[in-house]
Amino acid sequence: MDRVLAWLERARPDVLLMQETKVQDGSVPREVFRDAGYEIAHHGQGQWNGVAVLSRVGLEAVVTNFGRPLEAVRDPDSLEVNPLAEARMIAAICGGVRVVSLYAPNGRSVGSPHYAAKLDWFELLEGWLREAADMSEPLVLGGDLNVAPADKDVWDPVACAAGTHVSPPERQAFGRLLALRLTDAYRLRHSEPGRYTWWDYRSGNFHKNIGMRIDHLLISDPLVPRVVWTEIDREARKGKPTPSDHAPLVMDLDEPGQPFDAGWSAGT
């Protein structure tokens, strides 16, 4: 909470999409967020998964789990095998924009049941978008999609080639989202390689910039001309207490938000 509140003060976003909250809905510190000026919609299941939307510009029409009930978990050791038993999707309308906070399954290893479940989850997402989303309206899909869509989104394509996050079926699933007329907002402003949102804690990988760009903001056509700035807040990956191994991905629409130094100007 200390890091979340500090980042809210640092960036003052109108809307914050969070993933892997790992709390039950009844345990969400709503009053703390309210004191900071934010409403929260949360979809969680305790020690696993969990997604949320924080907003200071309204919070309406909340949808969770692709509009379906969260199914029971029969085997906690196989949580990822049933995508509909995992709290990984929440949507809401905030300030006239429909936002969807997403936490895709990791997949663990190519060919495993967890990998198959990851591809099933992307099919659920694509199906829900086709049925329930209007691409002619302002729409943002944001969060940890656990896919690096191109070779320049990983530190070493050869070293990563046999693993998850870069396999052809995963990249094809990501591509099918774009084919629905969604745009990778970060790439509207940044074409350079070496910009990542995730770095493993081990072996000093963050300081070596051994990472992946697996967190994304995908936007519908009406939002494309409204994007004035996108950035990965690398500075938020530093310091104490121990930060997330992911860095926040930020997008400004219509006008610049509160300025902050994301840490890339000093080099990687």
**pLDDT-derived band of residue 130, with 50, 70 and 90 as boundaries?**
very high
- 18-71 pLDDT tens trace: 999 999 999 999 999 999 999 999 999 988 899 999 999 999 999 999 999 999
Instruction: Return the pLDDT at 109.
Output: 95
The dihedral over CA atoms of 57, 9, 23, 43, expressed in degrees to the nearest 10, equals 20
User: Which residues pair with residue 2 across a beta bridge?
Assistant: none
Query: DSSP 3-state helix, strand, coil percentages of the chain (rounded to 5)?
Result: 35, 25, 40
* Residues in CB range of 242: below 8 A, 6 or more apart: none
Q: CA nearest 124: which of 99, 105, 109, 146?
A: 105
**pLDDT-derived band of residue 267, with 50, 70 and 90 as boundaries?**
very low
- Rounded CA separation 147/215 (Å): 8
Roughly what angle, to the nearest 10 degrees, separates helices 168-179 and 113-132? 10
Q: Fill in the amino acid letter for 110.
A: V
**Structural contact between residues 90 and 62, judged by C-beta atoms closer than 8 angstroms:** yes
Hey, what domains does the chain have and what are their CATH numbers? 68-253 (3.60.10.10)
- 68-118 pLDDT tens trace: 999 987 666 655 588 999 999 999 999 999 999 999 999 999 999 999 999
